[in-house]
Amino acid sequence: MTSDIERQAARRLEAARIARSQEQPIVGGLPDVPGIGVAMRLTPELGVHLRGLADAVLVNDYPGATLTRAEREMLATALSASNDCFFCMDSHAEHGAAVLAREGAAVPAGHAEHSPRFEAIKLGSTEGLEPKLQALMRIARTVGRRARDLTADDVAEALDAGATDADVQLAVLIASAFSMYNRLVDGFRARTPASPEAYRARAAEIAEHGYAAPSAQTGPPAPGGPPATARPAER
């Protein structure tokens, strides 16, 4: 049952999201697309490498890791929420819910039924998550906040809870990568949707194909410019 404190926190988060959606880019000469798409479209090389990094830490097999795709998206969501980056926290919550709806759930369920789990993570909660994932989430948040605050005891706690060395490596990699993504989005003050639902259609594509595949509804970018058409919340 949701407590009054949780409802108040959710309302504050929603108000902050709406306020952020009303901000405009503060850096000139940017492609006219939202979120991390701005950085990805500055040069073709940046697009290739930024999408490739997302696939490497969130989608592709990582030797020795036990983290599922959905759990990796949870780490990305938690880290982005700790950095107050609405584009990244909302998009990766939707991506993770889409992954669970497609392949990760023990009991078949629709996308919307998995969303509350990610909404709780955005508010800083780890309730209901297994101890291994809770420990890895603490590692990710610590690295995102101040990497040198991470201790050997933090790592040992994760290992004792069942994480592998590779899981800890992934937690550090995801935290580091998404600290960069978050700063690219908010450093440019890239446009951010007012509702998480704006990411849902693209989330289904990413759940199926990963990040390197372009959106089915986005045309190829013109040389030196934005795409012919851009989805409201394309990654």
The per-residue pLDDT for 76 is 98
Smallest CA-to-CA distance from 172 within 203, 221, 137, 201 is with: 137
Residue 107 has pLDDT above 50, yes or no: no
Residues with Cβ within 8 Å of 187's Cβ and at least 6 positions away in sequence, in order, are 27
Task: Label residue 60 by pLDDT band (50, 70, 90).
Answer: very high
The per-residue pLDDT for 234 is 56
Residue 114 has pLDDT above 70, yes or no: yes
Average pLDDT for 194-220: 82
Residue 161 has pLDDT above 80, yes or no: yes
Tokens 């291994």, residue located? 132
d(CA 57, CA 130): 21
Q: Which DSSP category does 227 fall into?
A: B
Residue 2 has pLDDT above 80, yes or no: no
pTM for this model (two decimals) = 0.87
Average pLDDT for 64-78: 97
d(CA 149, CA 95): 29
Tokens 């700063």, residue located? 183
What percent of the chain shows pLDDT beyond 70? 86
Q: Which domains does the chain have, with CATH numbers?
A: 31-209 (1.20.1290.10)
Q: Which of 50-54, 99-103, 197-201 has the highest mean pLDDT?
A: 50-54
Up-side HSE of residue 99: CA atoms within 13 Å toward CB? Answer: 23
The per-residue pLDDT for 7 is 87
Average pLDDT for 51-62: 98
What mean pLDDT, rounded, does the chain reach?
89
- Report the b/e string of 84-121 with b at 16+ CB within 10 A: ebbbbbbbbbbbbbbbbbeebeeeeeebeebbebbbbb
